[in-house]
Amino acid sequence: MRTDNHAKRILLGISGGIAAYKAPLVVRKLRNLGADVVPVLTQNATRFVTETALQAVADNRPRTDLWDAEAEAAMGHIELARWADAVVIAPATANVIARLAHGIADDLLTTLYLATTAPVFVAPAMNVRMWEHVATQRNLERLRDDGVTVLGPADGEQACGEFGPGRMIEPDEIAEKVTAAISTRVLDGTRVLITAGPTREFLDPVRFISNRSSGRQGFALAEAARDAGAEVTLVAGPVHLSTPTGIERIDVVSAQEMKDAVTQRAPDADIFVSVAAVADYRPHTVHDQKLKKSQQPSTDFRVALKENEDIVGSIAGVEPRPFVVGFAAETENPLEHAREKRRRKCMDAIVVNDVSDAAIGFDSSDNAVTLIHAGGEMGLPKMRKGAIARRLVDEIATLYASAGRGS
Ligand code: C5P
């Protein structure tokens, strides 16, 4: 089983249509899904979107010119073409589509197209009449024959005021389609069970104990596992996140409900990733009616708690069992605590993050983690949760395969 544990490298070609104003969003969405993006603008594109905006979101210097000696010295265009895991052209104008279809290499973007062996995606954006023109359709047919994937266009109102096909599909759709298409299918044929989010432990009908988990890291892992070819079941606590396409989602509220859902599905899973921040305790008594202040004569309001069963421990401790990966959010000595936790709960691997740093972890879009397993440790520096998820999935697939459980 091959793993390819670097961020996917994408050349984002931007040509000169009005939809180019959405290019920074395409960059952001691709980065959120873990990609490293170098924008390549045609001269016409620079009239619609600035290099400064693209530099800020891509964190890589945009390229515009085949004759930029400084940029070429840093990474020549042939090297850049080899660097790419994918070339995405969004928006792709009728003009750029025509030049690609005819193999004309008269600027940096079209030269890169000829020089790369990576998969190419184009997201057309143009006026409906230009889209429907026989020449455009002929050029697109050629591109398809040459192995290019055409994304869209969407139908609807256009910048020129007309209606019909020719709108560029939305940036998140472009990013999702491209990422899914180029993901290495390291989990093909596996069934992955993931828990995500917090749990709520009710005290009465309106009050509960919970925690700050947003569920974002678990949902990102579910998407990354799906894109890697796995059949994914996601057991989610109460979170404000929409269900990723192609994933079976089971909503639960309390730790007990989560345990029931996991226990029922674990026998069918090859890999169990326990990302959820499960409440360790629940109120001893759940009151049917809302507790009244007057019912508590003392100023000290005490709630008796009892311990929730450990879900991951109950799955990892009994053979036969799936390959088990836990998560640990720590505020002090994260590595030491996590190493101990992995051994105590019999987990194959554990992913630890330091939640005392407000810039990562709980309720943040970034994370920085260390994956600890019996054979070593791997640190992943601060990056988007989507990027963390993809790197973790690659690593988990490798561990799973070397544990003799994978194909
Ligand atoms: O001990 P701690 O709660 O930090 O362990 C975290 C790991 O254990 C996570 O993988 C979490 O999903 C899991 N866990 C569990 N059941 C609990 C508590 C935690 O599965 N009751």
pLDDT in tens, 392-406: 999 999 999 998 765
pLDDT for the residue numbered 243 = 96
Q: Is 143 close to ligand 1, i.e. is its CB under 6 Å away?
A: no
How many A from CA of 311 to the centre of ligand 1? 7
346 is catalytic: no
pLDDT at 296: 56
According to the model, what pLDDT value does residue 5 have? Answer: 54
What pLDDT is stored for residue 71 in this prediction?
Answer: 86
Under a CB-based contact definition with an 8 Å cutoff, are residues 372 and 350 in contact?
yes
Q: Which residues of the chain have pLDDT under 50?
A: 1-4, 407
Q: Return d(Cα 12, Cα 56) in angstroms, integer.
A: 15
193, 274, 343: residue to mutate for ligand 1 pocket, most atoms within 8 A of CB: 274
Nearest to 184 by CA among 11, 35, 1: 1
Q: Closest residue (by CA) to atom 6 of ligand 1?
A: 328
Tell me the pTM: 0.81
Q: Where are the alpha helices (DSSP H) in 266-328?
A: 311-316
Query: What pLDDT is stored for residue 405 in this prediction?
Result: 64
**Apex 165 CA angle, 161 and 170, nearest 5:** 90
Q: What is the pLDDT of residue 1?
A: 32
Looking at residue 295, what is its pLDDT?
Answer: 58
